[in-house]
Homo-oligomer: A and B are copies of this chain.
Amino acid sequence: MTKTSITLPDIAAAAGVSKSTVSLALQDSPKIKPETKRKVLKAAKQLGYVYNRAAANLRRRSSEIIGMVINDLTNPFFAELAVALERSFTDSGYVVMMANTSEDMQQQEKVVRTFAEHSAAGIVICPVFGTSYEQLTSHTMKGLPIVSVMRPIEGNACDFISPDNIAGSQAVTAHLLVQGFTRLAFLGGIDNTPVYESRLAGFKAAVSKAGIAMETCEILPCPPTREAAAKLIIERAKQGPLPEAIVCYSDVIAFGVTFGLDRSGFKAGKDVAVTGFDDIQGCNVFSPSLTSVHIYTDQLAKLAAESLISRLKDPERPISNQTVMPKVMVRESSILNK
């Protein structure tokens, strides 16, 4: 809380006008004479006035606060997404309060409630898997507009923006198949989560379209961290010949796999083809550079902001699901160079 008790009346007194004139002037209302405005602005600046938005919001019964809830900021992909989202909203004049949930449902419920208590106009969220609108709003913040990004909220009750995971996964798998690999693996991601299921579905679709039996392929889920992926592939390497190509659930997984392969005496892009998903910044500055699926994070963020802002303006608009078509970025890791 700023100590300053400089308020509208103070400015009014200094400028020799009334409280409401000051209010109008500060909002740059056309009802106020330019000269008066100048006088008011000058007095405000002189006195070191700090606008009190909470008071204004209270009176106006609306706010420009957007609550942003991110599942895991230490995951570089979500950090990139968070930054893009923040920019999209601030570009539209909103201010975003941001919170990290560390994939913790309790924490998530808590921060959403806190945002609601601070009169957030709406929420943009990468929800913890398994989140439903009901629990998110605790039956008590009904009508709080929410848009989810990347991961859907159960029950289809919220606007949702995501990449076309199936198409992206299918395309990157096809890119591998074209090279003649027949023993593939899909590695990483958490079983029974929507993103995992979609990316896996794309993988399977490509494989079966290529006329390859799924039995020759391996499916190895694991938590979305470098450590987990590394551990998994190291164990796997001990158990016999590796697949020729590994489609990873995400770039983070792919980095872990690359590391694990190295520890097991194999090289990604040489002994085994590896692909990622998300196309985060690091992909290009990594040896081997990582083939990945670019999902247009900035575009996702832009759509999320547009979607939420539209809903704020028209709460009755039908719920919308928007999908962005990704693009395969071929780099070294997927082209074997023996």
Contact = CB atoms under 8 A, between A and B. Distances in A.
Given A2-B144, A226-B282, A285-B230, A97 B100 contact: no
Contact of A99 (B74, B98, B227): B98
Contact of A139 (B48, B63, B281): B48
Interface stretch (A49-57, A147-155, A169-177, A208-216): A49-57
**Copies of this chain assembled into the complex:** 2
A57 B4 contact: no
Interface string A110-125: 0001101111110000
Interface of A: 1-4, 45, 48-55, 57-58, 61-63, 65, 73-74, 76, 79-80, 82-83, 86, 95-100, 102, 113-114, 116-121, 139-144, 226-227, 230, 255-256, 258-259, 262-263, 281-282, 284-287, 315
Contacts of A58: 52, 54-55, 58
Most chain B beta-carbon neighbours within 10 Å: one of A117, A256, A262: A117
Contacts of A262: 287
A65 B65 CA distance: 13
A1 B116 CA distance: 7
Nearest to A80: B74
Given A55-B58, A286-B259, A287-B263, A143 B50 contact: no
A114 B52 CA distance: 10
29 contacts: A1-B119, A1-B121, A2-B119, A48-B139, A48-B142, A49-B140, A52-B119, A53-B118, A53-B119, A54-B54, A54-B55, A54-B57, A55-B58, A58-B58, A74-B83, A74-B281, A79-B79, A86-B99, A96-B98, A97-B97, A98-B99, A226-B281, A226-B285, A227-B284, A230-B285, A255-B282, A258-B287, A259-B285, A259-B287
A2 B79 contact: no
A73 B98 CA distance: 12
Contacts of A141: 2, 4, 48, 50
Contacts of A54: 54-55, 57-58, 63, 118-119
B1 A53 contact: no
Nearest to A45: B140
B2 A143 contact: yes
Nearest to A261: B287
A53 B282 CA distance: 41
Contacts of A120: 1
Contact of A76 (B45, B74, B116, B230): B74
A4 B121 contact: no
A65 B100 CA distance: 16
Contacts of A76: 74, 76, 79
